[in-house]
Every structure is written in C-alpha cells, then in structure tokens.
Amino acid sequence: MKEFLMIALGVLIFVVIFQIAKASEYVSVLKGEEKTRKQNNKINAFMLIGLLVFGLIGVWYCNELYYGKTLFPQGSASVEGEQIDTMLYITIAITGVVFVITQILLFWFCFKYQEKDGQKAFYFPHNTKLELIWTTVPAIFLTVLVVFGLKYWFKITGDAPKDAIVVEVTGHQFAWEFRYPGADKVLGKTNYKLYTAKNNLGVDFEDPASLDDIHVNTTMHIPVGVPVKMVIHSQDVIHDVGLPHFRLKMDAVPGIPTTQWFTPKITTAEMKKKTGNPEFNFEIACDQLCGSSHYAMRGVIIVETMEEYKKWLAEQKSEHSVLFPVTPVEPNVPDSAAKQISQTVPVKK
C-alpha cells in the first residue's frame, strides 16, 4: 500500500511538472519568446551563483559532519601510515586551493558575464603567455606531489627490515588464515596440491621447517613497535589484505605471493581507550571483489605489547601437533571412527 501511494505521488508530481512545463511554453509565446528567454537567463545566472555559494557552504558543512568520523582524527596506527597521512594533507591543501579558485571563477564568470543588452563579448582567441603560465604552474605543483609521493612510496614498498616478524597471510573464499614460523623462524613450504580438508593450507610436512609452524584462523596477533612483514597468498580468487587503520593494502593473488610490511605503533587496548569504543578492533577488510560473501571476509588484528604477544605465541600449538597428535593411548583410526559414529547418531534421531 505504501509503495502504491509512493508511485501515485510520483506520477502526480510528474503530471504537475508536465502541465507547468507546457503552460510555460504557451506563456512564453504570448509574452514574446525573446523576453522569456532573457528572464530565464537571469534566473539561471542567479541560480548558478547560488549553487556556488551553497555549494561551498555545503563542502564546509559536509566536512564538519564527517571529518570526525574518518580515520584521520585517530591518526595512523602504523609508523609508515603517518607518511601517507602527511602526503594526504599536502594533496588536500594543494587541490583544495585549486578547487575553490576554479569553481569560484567558473560560477562568478557565468554570473558576471551573463547576457545583457548592449554587452558585447570580447574577441580573445588566444594568448601564448597565459597559456604558458597555466601549463607550467600546474606542472610545478605536480612535480612537488610526485616527488613527495614517490619518496614515501619507495620507503613503504621497499624491503622490510631484517628483524621484522614474518606472518604468512592466506585468503580464500571467505576467510583469512595466518601462519607463524615457530622457534626456527622459518615457515615450512606449502604446495597447493597437498590441500586436504584438514591441512587446508597445503603445508608440506616433509619439510622439517614446518613442524613448529603455528596456524591460526581469522585473528592474528602482533606486537607493537616491531616491524611486521606479511607474506600474502590466495588459494582461489584474488583477495586483498586491506588495513585501513594502518593505511595499507595489498592484493592476495593465487600463484603469486606478495608482501607488505608495517610497524604498528599503538595497541588494540590503547586504541579502545583513545577512541572511547570498547568494541574497537583493527580489522582486515577484503578489498578486492571475491564472490558473494566478499563483504563478510573479515579478519582481526590484535596489536599487543611484546610480553602479551610472546605469552600468546607460547600458548599456541604447532599445526603439526594439532593435525598429527602423538597420543600413546589411542591410535588415530578408532578415534576418527568413533567420531563418525557420534556424528551419525543425531541424524538417526
């Protein structure tokens, strides 16, 4: 019913506009088309200047409303991200000035030089000096932006520091998984052909380096103040490790490992206090469309102090020991058979 009323209202408004539009055409014929045209010209010129004024107020108002909600008042959660924020502020300053000046000129000229009786347009087909000025000035400003941008770009995309903690991040539809190298600080090899439902990252347990590796789902822990290097894989389609709070992003591409590194500078607990939001979490957002549940491909990063991190790490069991538990009491086969029975019971009921 509500929808029906809405449609009826829409049609009604439409009919009214159409009738007014038709009537105004007749009126213009009666009044003289030239006169109506000039009147419309004045109204439109006036509205253009109105658009400028209200537009600029709107830009300011929008900033008031939403700047506080962006991530920038919180500051970057990574050391590298600070450079990106600086770069962003430089770019906003330069483009902001250009935006305001050009929009003012555009609408001001439209208003000032609207058609008037007796006004003649000025024949001004070109002027080499002016054209040179607005070729070189933008070029200079762009050079500044390129120089700053590339300086930060090379720093951020350069090699990770040698003491960085390495975490392997793997994306698949629609979750994130993480592997930490154990005490040997070397990640065991993987091969996608070794994939099974249990060993879902295809870890090659023939490789001795894999024996102490730790495998966790969805939530990764990292210590504050130490560079972290992510080695990123995908198992199926392209995903993207999006880290909005750390100002970073890197695709996960099947068959081509990628890397990104950053130094977290604030812990999750501190962030909860800073934002006044006890629910706060650093999230990993998949930023590359990967299928129907792309929007729910969420990971969590817990940044904690070194002691907390070490404690957490010590509590984790190695993947090998989870998959192949050394249980002297019962061998594996009866165990899984027992599981099967226990699974079938509820079905029979």
Partner 1 sequence: MSSAATLQHADVHGSHDAHHEHHHHETFITKYVFSQDHKMIAKQFLVTGIIWAIIGGLFSVVFRLQLGYPESTFPWLEDLLGHWAAGGKLKPEFYYALVTMHGTILVFFVLTAGLSGTFANFLIPLQIGARDMASPMLNMLSYWFFFLASTIMFASLFVQTGPASGGWTIYPPLSALGDASSGSKIGMDLWLVSMAMFIVSSLLGGLNYITTILNMRTKGMSMTRLPLTIWALFFTAVLGVLSFPVLLSGAILLLFDRNLGTSFYLSDIVIAGKILPNEGGSAILFQHLFWFLGHPEVYIILLPAMGMSSEIISVNSRKPIFGYMAMVGSVFAIAILAFLVWAHHMFVTGLNPFLGSVFVLLTLLIAVPSAIKVFNWLTTLWRANIRFTPGMLFAIGFVSLFISGGLTGIFLGNSALDLHLHDTYFVVAHFHIVMGVASFFGMFAGVYHWFPKMFGRYLNNTMAFIHFWVTIVGAYLIFWPMHYQGLSGMPRRYYDFSGWSSFNMFNGLNEFISLVAMIVFAVQLLFVFNFFYSMFKGRKVTDSNPWGSNTLEWTTPINPGHGNWPGEIPEVHRGAYDYAKDGKEFIPQNVPVGDDESKAH
Which residues are CB-neighbours of 165 under 8 A, at least 6 positions away?
A: 222, 223, 226, 227, 228, 229
How many other C-beta atoms can be found within 10 angstroms of the C-beta atom of residue 231? 17
Using CA atoms, how far apart are residues 84 and 191, in angstroms rounded to an integer? Answer: 36
Using CA atoms, how far apart are residues 79 and 76, in angstroms rounded to an integer? Answer: 7
Number of residues that bind partner 1 (CB under 8 A): 121
Within 220-239, the residues that bind partner 1 by CB under 8 A are: 235-238
Q: Give pairs for 290-293: CB < 8 Å, separation 24+.
A: 290/171, 290/173, 290/174, 290/236, 290/237, 290/238, 290/239, 291/173, 291/174, 291/237, 293/173, 293/174
- Tell the smallest beta-carbon distance from residue 156 to partner 1 (Å): 7
Is residue 264 a contact point for partner 1 (CB under 8 A)? Answer: no
Stretch that binds partner 1, among 12-20, 223-231, 303-311, 320-328 (CB under 8 A): 12-20
Is residue 218 a contact point for partner 1 (CB under 8 A)? Answer: no
Interface map 170-199 toward partner 1 (x if CB under 8 A): --xx------------------xx-x-x--
Is residue 55 a contact point for partner 1 (CB under 8 A)? Answer: yes
Residue 77 amino acid letter: A
Using CA atoms, how far apart are residues 284 and 297, in angstroms rounded to an integer? Answer: 8
Per CB under 8 A, the list member of 53, 57, 93, 105 interacting with partner 1 is 105
Using CA atoms, how far apart are residues 241 and 292, in angstroms rounded to an integer? Answer: 17
- Tell the smallest beta-carbon distance from residue 277 to partner 1 (Å): 8
- Tell the smallest beta-carbon distance from residue 218 to partner 1 (Å): 13
Residue number with CB closer to partner 1 (224 or 248): 248
Using CA atoms, how far apart are residues 82 and 84, in angstroms rounded to an integer? Answer: 5
Within 302-341, the residues that bind partner 1 by CB under 8 A are: none
Q: Identify the helix (H) or strand (E) that includes residue 22.
A: helix 2-31
Structure tokens at 246: 């750390």
Per CB under 8 A, the list member of 179, 221, 247, 265 interacting with partner 1 is 247
- Tell the smallest beta-carbon distance from residue 246 to partner 1 (Å): 9
Within 118-137, the residues that bind partner 1 by CB under 8 A are: 119-127, 130-131, 134-135
Interface map 62-101 toward partner 1 (x if CB under 8 A): x--xxx-xxxx--------x-xx--xx--x--xx--xx--
Residue number with CB closer to partner 1 (27 or 306): 27
Per CB under 8 A, the list member of 8, 12, 22, 322 interacting with partner 1 is 22
